[in-house]
């Protein structure tokens, strides 16, 4: 077993580019694999999650190889994927599994999809339901869980669907299935969630239109149009940037700059929330890169105060609540975050994992059905061992806590960090943190 330990740091300083955006990396590989011609991807996140997607797409017939620092994808065209000869193992990745099942749902062959212990506990019913309406059939484990067998539709049907939860994975699975479906598929999202799929589909030449009306945002996709392989420059992941950013905010005297961050407004809720808490965060000028806004972000250590986080902001910062909870624990006053039932079905039950870990570190925290209330005192005792629950963001959050706490914090299962942020400890130590790894007997 590996124990990862974070010890209190002095001021953090420096600049670096966090790894490529996980959501965009999965999508770039997938759209490349179903386009005509070559897609060159630079800045791809080379993490366990994304490599699982690359392997799965190769098993489905796409050509994928590393070329210098880039990745090259030779696509099969719309409807051109082939039945894999083995189980597709999607590792820890909900995004990889759900989006890929969307693509396969409109290909006429059977596939078995599985994952690690965390992924195999996560609900797939939310994609099974609309993809079944499009003509796919699923045989899943109880509770709509992986491993499952998916038989793609021979004659897929277009769908008109209103998203019951603001989930970009559900929206994207339907859009990807619709690419090989005749006619027009229309998705209505009453509450907008990350729109990387729509932006990248436009970049690859899909027949896609957006409309907004009283019911929300409508996405209309006409299927069976070929996509053309395109260069994709993957910006740095704001969800990964969140960890050094919060660490710098709560370590007195710090100032760091994070370069090339995706500033898509449906991903920047954490920065708005931290600013409301008093954080000094400055965005540089934004540049458009393959349909996504990209910018540098500079932040300085700040005295934070507790706030009530607006629940309607949740989709724009859904992956950032664990690290927000660390900022809230270091703030002065009470921070209330609600409307977060979705956090119970992420890589772990993040509300339970955060509440337990914070309490072990001496933080006054209340766990609600749909959120957390954290009573911050401006300092954290620390001095605990916290379980990562096979969840990269839980692991990184408690290492950030350890960087600012009075006593060192250890986490178990730190290898899970490679899911989204390979080289996390090295990058943090480059800014002045003290994160060490120690192998212990099993």
Contact footprint for ligand S3P (CB under 6 A)? 23, 95, 167-169, 172, 194, 318-319, 342
Minimum CB distance to ligand S3P smaller for 9 or for 174: 174
Minimum CB distance to ligand S3P smaller for 5 or for 393: 393
> Left if phi > 0, otherwise alpha if psi is -120 to 50, otherwise beta: which for 325?
alpha
Q: Is 369 a catalytic residue?
A: no
We find the least distance from the C-beta atom of residue 373 to ligand S3P, in angstroms, to be 22
Minimum CB distance to ligand S3P smaller for 168 or for 401: 168
We find the least distance from the C-beta atom of residue 131 to ligand S3P, in angstroms, to be 15
We find the least distance from the C-beta atom of residue 79 to ligand S3P, in angstroms, to be 23
What would you report as the CA-atom Rg of the chain, rounded to the nearest whole angstrom? 21
Alpha-carbon distance of 325 to 403, in angstroms, equals 14
Tokens 């009573």 -> residue: 375
Residue 317 CB partners (closer than 8 Å, separation 6+)? 267, 268, 269, 270, 273, 324
DSSP 246-278: HHHHHSTT-EEEEEEEE--TTS-HHHHHHHHTT
Alpha-carbon distance of 431 to 9, in angstroms, equals 10
We find the least distance from the C-beta atom of residue 194 to ligand S3P, in angstroms, to be 6
Q: How do 216-222 and 184-189 pair as beta strands?
A: antiparallel
Alpha-carbon distance of 2 to 440, in angstroms, equals 6
DSSP state, residue 135: T
Of 367, 369, 364, whose CA–CA distance to 339 is shortest?
Answer: 369
Cis peptide upstream of residue 147 (ω within 30 degrees of 0): yes
Minimum CB distance to ligand S3P smaller for 122 or for 233: 122
Q: Do residues 229 and 41 touch, judged by C-beta distance below 8 A?
A: no
Minimum CB distance to ligand S3P smaller for 87 or for 266: 266
Alpha-carbon distance of 361 to 355, in angstroms, equals 10
Q: Do residues 230 and 203 touch, judged by C-beta distance below 8 A?
A: yes
Minimum CB distance to ligand S3P smaller for 5 or for 346: 346
We find the least distance from the C-beta atom of residue 29 to ligand S3P, in angstroms, to be 12
Minimum CB distance to ligand S3P smaller for 59 or for 420: 420
We find the least distance from the C-beta atom of residue 421 to ligand S3P, in angstroms, to be 13
CA distances to 53, 238, 275, 373, 388 from 307, in Å: 38, 22, 11, 10, 27
Q: Do residues 319 and 268 touch, judged by C-beta distance below 8 A?
A: no
We find the least distance from the C-beta atom of residue 16 to ligand S3P, in angstroms, to be 22
Of 247, 300, 276, whose CA–CA distance to 430 is shortest?
Answer: 247
Of 126, 130, 124, whose CA–CA distance to 156 is shortest?
Answer: 130
Alpha-carbon distance of 376 to 305, in angstroms, equals 8
We find the least distance from the C-beta atom of residue 26 to ligand S3P, in angstroms, to be 6
Q: Do residues 394 and 351 touch, judged by C-beta distance below 8 A?
A: no
Which of 49, 319, 349, 391 is catalytic? The answer is: 319
Tell me how crowded residue 394 is: count the other CB atoms within 10 A of its CB: 28
Minimum CB distance to ligand S3P smaller for 167 or for 180: 167
The catalytic residue positions are 319
């Amino acid at each position: 077993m590996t124990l990862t330990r974070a010890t209190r740091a002095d001021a953090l300083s420096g600049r670096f580019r966090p790894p490529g955006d996980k959501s965009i990396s999965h999508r770039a590989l997938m759209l490349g694999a179903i386009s005509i011609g070559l897609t060159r991807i630079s800045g791809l996140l080379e993490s366990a999650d994304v490599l699982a997607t690359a392997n799965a797409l190769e098993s489905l017939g796409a050509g994928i190889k590393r070329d210098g620092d880039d990745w090259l994808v030779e696509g099969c065209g719309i409807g051109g994927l082939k039945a894999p000869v083995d189980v597709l193992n999607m590792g820890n990745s909900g995004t990889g599994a759900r989006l890929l099942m969307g693509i396969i749902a409109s290909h006429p062959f059977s596939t078995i999809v599985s994952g690690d212990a965390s992924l195999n506990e996560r609900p797939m019913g939310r994609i099974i339901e609309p993809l079944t309406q499009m003509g796919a059939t699923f045989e899943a484990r109880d509770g709509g869980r992986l491993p499952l067998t998916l038989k793609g539709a021979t004659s897929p049907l277009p769908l008109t669907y209103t998203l019951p939860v603001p989930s970009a994975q559900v929206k994207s699975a339907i859009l990807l299935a619709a690419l090989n479906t005749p006619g027009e598929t229309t998705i209505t999202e009453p509450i907008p969630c990350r729109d990387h799929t729509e932006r990248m589909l436009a970049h690859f030449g899909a027949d896609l239109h957006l409309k907004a009306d009283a019911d929300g945002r409508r996405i209309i996709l006409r299927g069976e149009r070929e996509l053309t392989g395109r260069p994709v420059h993957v910006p740095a992941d704001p969800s990964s940037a969140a960890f050094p950013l919060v660490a710098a905010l709560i370590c007195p005297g710090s100032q760091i700059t994070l370069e090339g961050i995706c500033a898509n407004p449906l991903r920047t809720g954490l920065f708005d929330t931290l600013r409301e808490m008093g954080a000094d965060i400055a965005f540089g000028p934004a540049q458009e890169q393959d349909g996504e806004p990209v910018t540098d972000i500079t932040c300085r250590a700040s005295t934070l105060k507790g706030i009530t986080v607006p629940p309607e902001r949740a989709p724009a910062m859904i992956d950032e609540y664990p690290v927000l909870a660390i900022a809230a624990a270091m703030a002065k006053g009470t921070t209330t975050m609600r409307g977060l039932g979705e956090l119970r079905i992420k890589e772990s039950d993040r509300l339970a994992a955060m509440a337990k870990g914070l309490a072990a570190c001496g933080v006054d925290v209340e766990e609600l059905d749909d959120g957390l209330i954290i009573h911050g005192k401006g300092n954290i005792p620390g001095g605990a061992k916290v379980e990562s629950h096979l969840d990269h963001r839980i692991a990184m959050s408690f290492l950030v806590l350890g960087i600012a706490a009075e006593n060192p914090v250890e986490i178990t299962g730190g290898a899970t960090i490679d899911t989204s942020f390979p080289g996390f400890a090295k990058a943090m130590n480059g800014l002045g943190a003290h994160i060490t790894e120690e192998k212990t007997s099993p």
